[in-house]
Amino acid sequence: MNSVVSQSTDVVIVGAGLSGLTAADELTRAGYDVLVVEGRKRVGGRIHKIEIAGVPVDAGATWVAPHHSAVRELVSRLHCELVPQFHDGKGVISFGGKRKTESLTALSPLVSLDIARITSALQKIVDGFSFSAPWEHPDAAELDSMSLGEWLTSKHALEGTRKFMNMFSLVQWGAPVGDVSLFNALRYIKTLGGIEIMLKVEGGDQQDRVLGSAHTLVSRLADTLESRVITGSPVETITTVGDRVTVTTSTHTIDARFVIVTASPVHRSTIEFTPALPAQHHGLARSWRLGALSKAFVAYDRPFWRAEGLSGEGVSDDDTVFLTFDVSPSADGPGIMMVFCDARGFDGYDEDERRRRVMKHLVHLFGESARHVTEYTDFSWGTDTFAPGGPNPAVAPKTWTSYGKFLREPVGLVHWAGTETAEETSGSMNGAVLSGRRAADEVAARLAR
């Protein structure tokens, strides 16, 4: 039986994702003692690297927008490099099994006009939201009473518009429009800077990637913390007695003055808190469900689509594949296609069937050349064994107005971080960094007193 290591520190941080590592970095540089405890045997959280054809690729968080200044500062400081997302050429669209090769925004004139009408109506509501307390919006109860899908129905959105918005919802929340609160959608659109930015590559949320995968960034940040990061040690209990808090795992007991929990709200419920968290925080953890998003990666000798004048970007209403991007390291190869998959038409199948489904649709989108695969791999966040779900909460109607205000409200000596809690760029790597900074500032202010 392994002995339990007892330690003492100023602050324990639960979770070695980008938010937790950022909080640890900020507090360490301010002169405080910090320990980071991570349940997985790796750092990164929802930033996760896998390999295909010898090339590291992002199974999780991927892109950095031009206005993501917090991530860009970190990239510069840690001597990482950003590379532009490949975007040259025409995209491929397939709705209802009908394939078109053109600009991704060039749907039928009628659908294009209707998408503009719908996104404009959404953006108009978004403009009335505040960053800090969106639940105080005068129409919050009404906006949170329906799903995004129900709102689209009320606006008589065309079928093509609905399919486009469903793809948008799957990418952002890992759930179809019928499963996501309209209020949740509006709040994310607000924090991310608007629908146009969310959809764009150049000048938008998909503009750049970290060379060597986003995991290069978190691993270098973790390296600066050295032995302060403990992995493979899931937190079991957090106990507060007086002005001290004790965090226990199967291998460590850590006494501290404060704790910052960076786990997604739904995963906070896996930790036993003593005293118990207030009822509202239990409600938050129970209802703040995550969506489920999957990615497949397909390797070829070279990115053959480029020679055909295609960008590798594809949008589809297929049951499995709904979005593709070219993440090839160079024009010389290997060619690597990143394929976003709807968990409902993907996760429940074995690898052979998952691969068959992906390949069938890639051939439909990019022609017979897509059959000549050198390697295939995939990753499903919905079936992750440690902390399933992602990329962001697919919060159901009436949840935000019930529990949103408790997302980052401290409970005694316990503070909260994580990209969900960020007021700006929530759901992105930039939001994770900002949330880590904010939680570190909160705790540092209390430590100073």
- 278-305 pLDDT, tens digit per residue, is 999 999 999 999 999 999 999 999 999 9
What is the value of pTM for the model shown?
Answer: 0.96
pLDDT, mean of residues 249-271 = 96
Please, which pLDDT band fits residue 109 given cuts at 50, 70 and 90?
confident
Average of per-residue pLDDT values in the chain: 95
The answer on pLDDT for 223 being more than 70 is yes
Q: Is the predicted pLDDT of residue 103 greater than 70, yes or no? A: no
Percent share of the chain, pLDDT over 70? 98
CB 284 within 8 A of CB 49: no
Residue 2 has pLDDT above 70, yes or no: no
Picking from 365, 263, 269, the residue whose alpha carbon sits closest to that of residue 315 is 365
pLDDT in tens, 10-37: 999 999 999 999 999 999 999 999 999 9
- The DSSP code for 343 is G
pLDDT at position 107: 67
pLDDT at 96: 87
pLDDT in tens, 378-410: 999 999 999 999 999 999 999 999 999 999 999
Give the mean model confidence (pLDDT) for residues 237-257: 97
